[in-house]
Chains A and B, each alone.
Chain A
Amino acid sequence: MSEILVLVEQAEGEVKKVTLELLTLARSLGTPAAVWAGPGLTPEAKARLAEYGAEKIYVAPSSDVVDYVVAPKAELLAQLVTAKSAAAVLVAATAEGKEVAGRLAVKTDSGVITDAVGVGDGFVADQSIFGGGVNVHSRVRKGTPIIAVRPNSTAPVAAAGAGTEEEVSVTLSDAAKAARVVERVKQEKGARPELTEAAIVVSGGRGVGSAENFSVIEGLADALGAAVGASRAATDAGWYPHQFQVGQTGKTVSPQLYIAAGISGAIQHRAGMQTAKTIVAINKDPEAPIFELADYGVVGDLHQVVPQLTEEINKRK
């Protein structure tokens, strides 16, 4: 069977959950081959990729691959698409993943599908568009299908693959080295699961009232093992860092459970969370649009309801 290339997403050497999801998906489409772009492949990471079905692990250890913006990853993948006659390429539908997909599509003269929530026979992709209002089947019809898949679309299931490592030396063009990363500024991350990957997300909005009060949201998140998110009103006010913003211009999340506290449910916020499986809203305004989406809603003051909910969860554990 032909190889399905999966671009590995990692943070400080640790393979992200979305990559395990993509490997699981790739197994249903062909032979999964993981692509590790850059230095830092550890034995643990290698084992993890193999555990989820990677038959091959292509590694391009040159630091050039990560020291320039996006283009080197696209060149690496383009080189592998040709060398291995890959049947398709799967990347995570993160902002950067989609950019890699875009450049790769141009390079290989292939079609690209973004924000797929599933991929089936013949590489027909499921897309959920217009804020979840319409379900689409779409398909690449020229070149090698390049598909950016949303995190949390497939449940990761282990099934061992050979995990044979193969080093790739990539020859980067000058154009690929035109935008150089001169500094990486890491902001606090904390111990919570990553926002786009978390099974549960608890978000706070303007109703939270202050940066200090976000501890109420964090308390609930920790009781549920959840990630913390925020509306733009909250990130703009400086109550919570911008990388936790959920919405059209923040992260798109599709967790099993999304809890929105003190968030009105503006269209731009909904664009980032509407595909959550279950939605719970806590808002003091019974007319807040977020209630139109909610599977369960509590009309009330979040400063009363959220701590009570947290306490109740901790009691029942």
Chain B
Amino acid sequence: MNIVVCVKQVPDTATERKLRSDDNTLDRDAVDGVVNELDEYAVEEALKLKEAHGGEVTVLTMGPGKATETIRKALAMGADKAVHLSDDALHGSDALSTSYAMAQVLKKIGFDLVILGSESTDARTGVLPAMLAERLGTPQLTLANKVEVEGASITVQRLADYGYDKVEATLPAVVSVVEKINEPRYPSFKGIMAAKKKPVETLAIGDASIDAAQVGLAAAWSEVVDFAPAPPRAAGTIVKDEGDGGVNAADFLASKKFI
């Protein structure tokens, strides 16, 4: 099975994230980049499926040059090779452009299964997996906490408000995973060393038949008009429980008219 797993580099959530004042896009230079947490679960699921069914796992990342760190991490976990879509023309792409560009690459490299995280920690739109399924015309098996493949048929448990849906489809398909699905492995020392020798193909937009007029800030279907830091939360009152902590909390709730 030919599995492509989409991995995004995101700013470390522990650092302060900013938008750039010149073009209102995320300032990716100012912060350390890490692998989007949920994408580690996507990589793990891809590796497990490969272990069970054979095949190959390819990492796909769209992002600036420094996103290679993210690719190395996924390769160190055990993925076989990577494709890095990197081009200045992509800077400022919104979800429509990003899904278009990634779909073009996926069509070029081919796949039986595409696996993504269900949401990134920076933009948190959660729309990319559905958009890719739409653009590729393949079944959408998203928000999965369990994936089973048998021959060409695939079944997932899709999380829902009330529990879950059992969903069936035929490969090729697009899957997104939630963090309940598995426990991502840590790269071993051997894995980290091996990752350095694994092939990483870097593509510019022209290499994947991506139309420059459909990507980047100028093409974006949506735009940030302006932004401002949220007013800081007023410092709260912290009391130590001296036997009447519950009563104190009730007084506070009453002062706010919750009781």
On A, residues with C-beta under 8 Å from B are 11, 69-71, 74, 94-96, 98-103, 105-107, 109-115, 124, 128-143, 175, 178-187, 189, 194, 200, 224, 232, 242-243, 248-249, 256-257, 267-268, 271, 278-280, 282, 286, 291, 293-301, 304-313, 316-317
Contact = CB atoms under 8 A, between A and B. Distances in A.
B124 A224 contact: no
A175 to B, nearest CB: 5
Given A99-B140, A184-B163, A271-B121, A69 B246 contact: no
A99 B130 CA distance: 5
Contacts of B179: 232, 249
B114 interface: no
A243 B165 CA distance: 13
Shortest 9 CB-CB contacts between residues of A and residues of B: A308-B246, A300-B241, A102-B127, A111-B221, A111-B222, A178-B139, A187-B163, A309-B246, A312-B250
A138 B236 contact: no
A142 B245 CA distance: 54
Contact of B220 (A96, A141, A194, A278): A141
Interface of B: 13-14, 16-19, 37-38, 94-96, 99, 118-119, 121-131, 133-135, 137-143, 145, 155, 157-170, 173, 178-180, 220-230, 233-234, 236-241, 243-250, 252-254, 256, 258-259
A95 B145 CA distance: 14
Q: Which of A107, A128, A131, A305 has the most CB of B within 10 A?
A: A305
A182 B166 contact: yes
B127 A112 contact: yes
Given A175-B137, A301-B241, A304-B246, A133 B128 contact: no
Nearest to B226: A137
Contacts, number: 285
A257 B158 CA distance: 30
B259 A103 contact: no
A98 B127 contact: yes
Given A111-B96, A291-B236, A179 B249 contact: no
A37 B38 CA distance: 31
Nearest to A110: B221
Contact of A69 (B131, B140, B170, B234): B140
Contacts of A307: 246
21 contacts: A95-B126, A102-B95, A105-B131, A112-B127, A114-B124, A114-B125, A115-B125, A134-B228, A136-B225, A137-B227, A178-B170, A182-B167, A187-B162, A200-B258, A282-B245, A295-B252, A296-B236, A299-B239, A301-B241, A306-B246, A308-B247
Nearest to A177: B139
A99 B249 contact: no
B222 A189 contact: no
A280 B259 CA distance: 14
Contacts of A305: 241, 245-246, 249
B240 to A, nearest CB: 5
Given A105-B131, A114-B127, A313-B259, 18 more contacts: A95-B126, A98-B125, A102-B126, A106-B134, A111-B96, A134-B17, A137-B224, A137-B225, A179-B169, A184-B162, A184-B165, A200-B258, A296-B238, A304-B241, A305-B245, A308-B244, A309-B247, A312-B247
Contacts of B161: 11, 94, 194, 243
A140 B225 CA distance: 10
Tell which of A110, A113, A129 has the most Cβ of chain B within 10 Å.
A129
Contacts of B240: 286, 298-300
Given A136-B224, A185-B164, A257-B258, A178 B236 contact: no
A311 B247 CA distance: 9
Nearest to B125: A114
Given A178-B138, A249-B38, A267-B14, A296 B167 contact: no
Given A103-B134, A105-B131, A69 B13 contact: no
Nearest to B141: A179
B127 A69 contact: no
